[in-house]
Structure 1
Amino acid sequence: MGVKLTNKDMDQLEKWIGTGPKTFTLLYAITRDGCKPKAFHDKCDYQGPTITVLYNTNGSVYGGYNPTSWNSDRNQYTCCTDAFLFQLYYNGSPKANKFSLKSDRYQYAIENNSNCGPTFGYTDLRTFTDTVSRSDSYFSLNVKSKFNEDYDMQGLSAEEIYNDDWNVTELEVYKVAYEERKVRTPWRNVGQWNEKFLEELKKDVLSFKPVADLDISAARILMIGPVGAGKSSFYNTIESIFRGNITQRARSGSAEQSLTTCYVPYSVNVPSGGSLNFRLCDTRGLEESHGLDVHECSYLLDGNIADYYQFNPTSPITPKVQGFKTHPTTEDTVHCAVFVIDATTLDVLSTKVMEKIKGFQNLMNQRDIPQMVLLTKVDKLCKDVQSDISFVYQSQIVEEHVDKASQLLGLPRTNILPVKNYEKELRLDENTSILALLSLRQILYFAEDYMYNLRERKNLVQN
């Protein structure tokens, strides 16, 4: 079947969404696939950003943009800032209006419900529940909307937008994909990607040494992030690069709760038998009601917690726990903190997890500890990056997610580092390794900056 949106309509939607050219691919249509929730979710779940368009019997066309993926497994609201409702035609005549979310209602932007079709806001744009059968040439949708609850309808009534008429001749859902340009100027210039560059990066990391006169033998890089974001996988990726084969020393995978339950300062080994002069310190993942908390993070930053300490969710850490370091040295403290965040979940990070992260950042700011973000799974954002990792710094959608992470955590863009971990590969890939080492090298630079500052303060005290 053909699509009903015209090129002019798509141009208007593209302009409203912003950030460059898009392609619109029809995923679901009720005249083709049936007007029932299961059909909608089977076709549209986990497809990334989508546009929902309704056409009623009066010739009015309206709908909504979901910048996140529909997900019938969640059965909850998705918080985001970029969703919007729109109007394209009224009684068959062009009438273009965009209706943005109210600033205090972001948490109700999108409703994911396995029993419903596309749903925007608490009541703003609801489409159908259960199965709706065709009646003559239209479908009489069986749920009502109440506009202006979560989206700002600019004073327009339901009558002025869709005739207050729920008889639709069609309802379509389009996948919205970024139309990348291979000739686009890189948004971050990092050099020519080739074997020579890979060896240069490896050499830089191999030659890293902590700043002299501080009695530090290895820099400590604390990795913090939500469950499943890829903390352990990043360590495995770095270890694999220097070992020359895919390894999995750190436990990784998918689970509802963190697979990491200890504080583990992983060393990176080389074939000669030695290890590099830094430790990637893994700890349990962030969860809404469990996982690492601000109290434990403070002890980690200050070096009080012993290596391989087993976290106990029912027993908080106190100076009386076994191995607690009452007088930690500069060797024990954290020299750089890295937040590891899944790029595909930026728009749906829970409020409670973000509150924890902000609490951790306050602790780090008090100690002048540099903060970085590893933005993982960037290959899942863009088909061009998925087919060619070296395209990551040309990808408009990756750049957009770097900007979002920067705003979310209040850090400069240069502190946001996109990566793809080894997770399904059985052999090393040159471009994947380059991307990981670029990030690691920058992290080590920041740890070195912290040590220089530490040494200056030490010298001032001594003098």
Structure 2
Amino acid sequence: MFTPHSIFSNFQWKHYRKKKLITSTILPPRKIVTIQLPNRGNAFQITSSIITNEHTAEIASWIDKKEVTYDVNNNPYEFNLILRGSRDGFGTDVFWNLCNQKTNLVVVVKVKDTDEILGGYNPIGWNSNLNNYFKTKDSFIFSLKNGSIKNHILSRVKNASFAIYSYLRHNGPNFGGTDFYMYRTNNFYTNKINGYEKLIRTTTGEFLADDYETETKLDHEKYDKKVYNGTYEQLKNIAGHSLSEGSKGFGKSTHDSAVARRQVKVKMHNNNDA
């Protein structure tokens, strides 16, 4: 007589001993379980106190001239805060000190005592040394949905030759000369159509801001390629300061390396090193 040691031998035993019960555990049929994987998008913690991730996804879609708004988890851009009025000051000199000749700028203004959020995108930047209009077809001004404001307004360039205006250091950010601009401390204006399709407020003239911000657009794909392929020493040289030991594993999903990669991307953007 032999003792069964497996399901197979157990069945053999059953074959020879017809009345012998099968003692092996028979498992039920396997079930196919579908696992929902997490989104592999580029969600990030926004640094703005005025706009949300939903707003940035909408602005990013306008930058790329998309008909459908990007999902917040697949936004190809990150907006890095450069200036916040309540933190850095509302004077035009602050704007020029922090934003002069920087490109791909997003300006957002929270209008005082309303739900209005107005703004504009300038891909070519402003120059404090010049008093002139600058040509681009890719800038735009806007009003965002927020609270009681149920619909956005997007106003693209109508006359590219008057899209962006630099008035030495007398004005802050200026779109179209008169369409949307900052004049002196905390004073903003929407006066008349000049460079853009339509006004972004129902009323014209001066208005005050609760706060305003200027942010620069970082392209994830453009900078990630360099950041992930660069060696620790190369990236440390770009960043211009010592990086933590944890950041040596730039391809790893660690907090230190993520912070270090972001620091390097910002530095590369500011140096136009891409």
Aligned mates of 1:99, 1:22 — CA distance in 2: 21
**1:76 maps to amino acid:** N
CA contact (8 A) 1:122 1:150 kept: yes
| Pairwise CA distance, 1:179 | 1.2
Q: Residues 181 and 126 (structure 1 numbering): CA distance in 2 closer, same or farther, change over 3 Å?
A: closer
CA distance in 2, matches of 1:126, 1:384: 27
Decide whether aligned partners of structure 1 residues 91 and 165 sit closer, same or farther in structure 2, where only a CA change above 3 A counts: farther
Match of 1:167 among 180, 183, 208: 208
- Whether contact under 8 Å (2:180, 2:190) holds in the other structure is yes
- Mapped contact 2:161–2:195 kept (Cα < 8 A): no
Q: How does 1:412-423 map to 2 (within 5 A)?
A: none
1:109 counterpart residue number: 163
State the match for 2:52 in structure 1: 6
Q: Who is 1:28 aligned against?
A: 83
Residue 49 (structure 1) shift: 1.0
Indicate if the aligned counterparts of 2:189 and 2:205 stay in contact, CA closer than 8 A. Answer: no
Structure 2 stretches lacking a partner, 5+ long: 1-46, 66-74, 226-266
Aligned 8 A contact 1:147 1:157 in 2: no
Give the counterpart of 1:58 among 114, 119, 144.
114
Query: What amino acid maps onto 2:207 in structure 1?
Result: W
Give the corresponding residue for 2:61.
15
Normalised by the length of structure 1, the TM-score is 0.35
Matches within 5 A, 1:322-341: none
SS at match of 1:77: strand
Q: Any conservation in 1 of the 2:106–2:215 contact (CA below 8 Å)?
A: yes
Structure number with bigger Rg: 2
Find the counterpart in structure 2 of residue 424 from structure 1.
none
What does residue range 24-103 of structure 1 map to in structure 2 within 5 Å? 24-56=79-111, 57-89=113-145, 92-102=148-158
Instruction: Please provide the CA RMSD for this pair.
Output: 3.0
In the TM superposition, what are the counterparts of 1:380-399 in structure 2 within 5 Å? 386=273
* Letter of the structure 1 residue corresponding to residue 89 of structure 2: G
Query: Which residue does 1:119 correspond to in 2?
Result: 174
Q: 1:190 is matched with which residue?
A: none
Structure 1 gaps of 5+ residues are 133-138, 185-379, 388-463
| Contact 2:48–2:81, Cα closer than 8 Å, also in 1 | no
Do the aligned partners of residues 128 and 182 (structure 1) sit closer, same or farther apart at CA in structure 2, a change above 3 Å counting?
Answer: closer
CA distance in 2 between partners of 1:174 and 1:183 (Å):
19
> What SS class does the counterpart of residue 46 from structure 1 fall into?
coil
Counterpart of 2:201 (choices 138, 146, 158) is 158
Of 185, 189, 192, which aligns to 1:147?
192
Q: Scaled by the length of structure 2, what TM-score is found?
A: 0.57
Distance 2:192 2:147 in 1: 19
Q: Contact 1:64 / 1:84 at 8 angstroms: preserved in 2?
A: yes
What percentage of residue pairs aligned between the two structures are identical?
Answer: 23
